[in-house]
Structure 1
Amino acid sequence: MDRKKFLKNGLLGLGTIVALPTAMNSCTKDDSIDATNDNATDGSNSSGSGDCTLSPSETAGPFPIKTPADLVRENIVGDRDGVAMLINITVQDQSEDCAPLAGVYVDLWHCDADGNYSEYGGTGMQSTNYTNVHFLRGRQTTDSNGQVSFISIFPGWYNGRAPHIHIEVLKTNGSSIRVTQIAFPKSICDTVYSTSAYKGTANMLNENDNVFSDSLEDNMADSVTGDTTNGYTLTKTIVV
């Protein structure tokens, strides 16, 4: 995929240009904690070693995508406002020495800058009703390098959770291979949440989040680079 063309086409009208990926890792010691993966939150254990560790198996949460086959798209922003973000995901197959896994679905979803999800609402869990819209949700199929990309915005936060993105990898017959989540470095979240589109510092730290508390090191984004003016690029390898 031509990343520059992808960005130019995908961010037209969004008002910002996402920074291109770099090798710099933003997950400094101050932004993350050491954690083991002996127990994933749904009871499944992470395994493997080195760079081929199975990604933590996490809950899909209370707001999963309802009709992902209808949301095959690169740009998932919809009508949402926020700091632009390019999300680059690589899927690897642990059973094949972490070779790239081509031809599988990657479903991705997250909340908006106010902490609300599309396809849900009008309840005590989320008062704002977005049941008839589908922003910040999408599906892509991995290429020969096991890669997909989504154009989005930096997610906001809501009470009881640290900032996060949901990922599900599925076979083309629809069977789920792995559900996981991506965490963000606190320093970057604090910078983004100080801008006008967001509602201030998140009230839950990564290490206190019940999803990330036992697996944060493997949930953390591999890198998040950029700034609030030009946007951010997130990269993450998911091992299934």
Structure 2
Amino acid sequence: MDKPEHGGGTDRSREYQDGRTHGHGLAEDLGAIGSRLFARRRALAFLATAGTTAALAACGGDDGGTANAAGSGTDTGLTSTTSSTSTSSSSSSSSGGTAAETCVADPSETNGPYPADGTNTASGATSNVLTQSGIVRSDIRSSFIGSTTTAVGVPLALELQLVDVSNGCAPITGAAIYIWQCDAYGRYSLYSSGVTTESYLRGVQVTDANGLVSFTTIYPACYSGRWPHIHFEVFTGGLSAASTGRTASLISQLAMPAATNAAVFTGDATYTASIANYNAISLSSDNVFGDNSSAQLAQMTPTLTGSVSAGYSGSALIGIAT
């Protein structure tokens, strides 16, 4: 069920707003991508990301109030290193475009304080990237509204497959999926101090004939009070229905795998602030994932392979009853 989510130590009163007239957003993008929705490549090739220890351009390395959490931590016991580690985690997701053998319905979760989907306000204004031209994109690492700043961090290529749990896990075609996440410092674009004029790490894709969408992003940080995660919203009505989070068919989150969390946070200096935060949280104590079943958590956790130096790639299954 929906549960409240702690924020990333940010100031919601600084939500992005500049008075520009919005474009046609998703409707405008529909014509541009319609002819190639079903020809999308099944996997993304990684490009090595240079300078992952540098601060975000135009942000001066401000951590946006994502200070380390107090407390003795959990049994993760992370300490900072510089090693690169290959990891893999268990998941029931299916890749390659075939129907999943097993699936469960993903639980509905909170969209949190920073969705930029038209469902909340800050300083009296509504933030909604879903109405902006350019939101339909696979590579979400750069800002696309008034800035081209690229978020630094360990590269992550993520493939999601949307399936119908009421129809034998059959792929769902033509649905829009919107994802968003924090950056390597625990900040959310458009909302957090230091990145209110950025719009990176947000994007929409439409499922192809095999129910697949692909995103190129970075690994999310661990901020105080939350297990590392990626938010998503599903609109089974497609792009025309994806103009506000209020019309989403499903709002939920992906739980990042523990082994990869440990490797990234201790192996890349950009994520140094995540170490203490991660030591103080567990899946069972997380206020979003803590009450989910083992089957739900297995499906909500992406299967990832790769290393800190080369980046990670993987997949996850999203189950919904139509």
TM-score, length basis structure 2: 0.58
Distance 2:156 2:162 in 1: 19
Residues 125-144 of structure 1: pairs in structure 2 closer than 5 A: 128-144=193-209
Structure 1 unmatched runs, 5+: 17-23, 29-49, 122-127
Q: Who is 2:26 aligned against? A: none
Native 8 Å contact 2:107 2:252 kept in 1: yes
CA RMSD of aligned residues (A): 2.2
Residues 97-176 of structure 1: pairs in structure 2 closer than 5 A: 97-121=168-192, 128-170=193-235, 171-172=237-238, 173-174=241-242, 175-176=247-248
1:190 to 262, 267, 271: 262
Distance 2:154 2:176 in 1: 26
1:14 to 49, 52, 67: 49
- Which runs of 4 or more aligned residues in structure 1 lie more than 6 Å from their structure 2 counterparts after TM superposition? none
Q: Taking structure 1 as reference, are residues 187 and 216 closer, same or farther at Cα in structure 2, changes over 3 Å only?
A: farther
Native 8 Å contact 1:206 1:216 kept in 2: no
Deviations 1:132-173 (A, max 9, x none): 211111000000000000000000021110100001101222
Q: Who is 1:124 aligned against? A: none
Q: Taking structure 1 as reference, are residues 207 and 81 closer, same or farther at Cα in structure 2, changes over 3 Å only?
A: same
Q: Taking structure 1 as reference, are residues 101 and 184 closer, same or farther at Cα in structure 2, changes over 3 Å only?
A: same
Structure 2 unmatched runs, 5+: 1-39, 52-86, 92-100, 117-127, 143-149
In the alignment, structure 1 residue 68 sits paired with structure 2 residue 130: yes
Native 8 Å contact 1:72 1:140 kept in 2: yes
Cα deviation for residue 15 of structure 1 reads 3.7
Distance 1:237 1:211 in 2: 18
Native 8 Å contact 1:183 1:216 kept in 2: no
Aligned residues: 202
Which deviates more, 165-174 or 139-148? Answer: 165-174
Distance 2:102 2:172 in 1: 15
2:89 to 18, 21, 26: 26
Q: Taking structure 1 as reference, are residues 198 and 157 closer, same or farther at Cα in structure 2, changes over 3 Å only?
A: same
Q: Who is 2:151 aligned against? A: 80
Cα deviation for residue 69 of structure 1 reads 4.5
TM-score, length basis structure 1: 0.77
